[in-house]
Amino acid sequence: MKIGRLGYTESTLLFCNYLRNHLKIPVTEDLVKYEINFMQWLFNTSGFYDLDFNNNYDYVNSYIYKKYMSELFKTSTESDYTRFLLHNTQFSKYTPNFYSNFNIGEYSYDIVLNEINSFIKDKNVLIINPISTLMKKQYDNGNAIKISNLAQVTSVQCYNNEYTFFNNQFNPNKNRNSFEYVKSIMPQIKNIQCDCVIISCGGISSLIANRLDKDYLIIGSHLLEIFGIKHDRISKENKYNEYWVEVPDELKPPNYKMIENGCYW
């Protein structure tokens, strides 16, 4: 089973790309503003990066951006089903046409939790996320099972990918863009023995999924809730108990407060 998911930023950019290149609607000022706004989100808070990004709309014609759009489309069409997150806008009348290209999955916390339980039951599971070691700890010590009634697995493996927010300016490495970065980590990921993979890596989740030969499930911040990791994207009232944990400072990016006010940590 391959389960895809695009967050708001990735969903919107793929949608805009579809409007321009498939439906051929006029590229109006409103469309440009809409698309460039989410392009800024992609590089600032989604974790995708390209050191050649020029902060201009003409980046949509660059090789790396076109390649990224093709990766998002590949994940969305080759997954058994995919979830999209799109806001209601003046372009929403085109949404049904866009969705007709994919098998669309329903979206709610309960649906995702049941889905994960079916996905991981009795399997060797690999989690790819910058704090996957904390998720493994929460499962191994029983906290995640008590919080979410998670299914029994054979084992939980983990791979902590790097944070690459703000076009990777706070964590420079030898790679000029996310494609080079993912290429550099895939040998390590593929060397981990597992039956299936949970991917929660923001803007690079699709790049990783497309290079796996395993079943995968892509998920967003619900993964934190499922494993009992405190964050500010859920209501804390009547939620937290002694089984929930904070993200330790060493697992936070140094600039985490700049990323949606630190809501993920």
User: In the numeric block, which tokens belong to residue 252?
Assistant: 């936070």
Identify the sign of the CA torsion 239, 245, 246, 251.
negative
Please answer whether residues 107 and 99 qualify as being in contact, where contact means their C-beta atoms are separated by less than 8 angstroms. no
Distance CA 230, CA 226 (A): 10
Q: Where are the domains of the chain?
A: 2-99, 109-262
Give the dihedral of Cα atoms 203, 197, 119, 83; nearest 10 deg.
20
Residue pLDDT tens, the chain, 265 long: 999 999 999 999 999 999 999 999 999 999 999 999 999 999 999 999 999 998 899 999 999 999 999 999 999 999 999 999 999 999 999 999 999 999 998 888 899 999 999 999 999 999 999 999 999 999 999 999 999 999 999 999 999 999 999 888 777 778 999 999 999 999 999 999 999 999 999 999 999 999 999 999 999 999 999 999 998 777 555 578 999 999 999 999 878 877 777 777 7
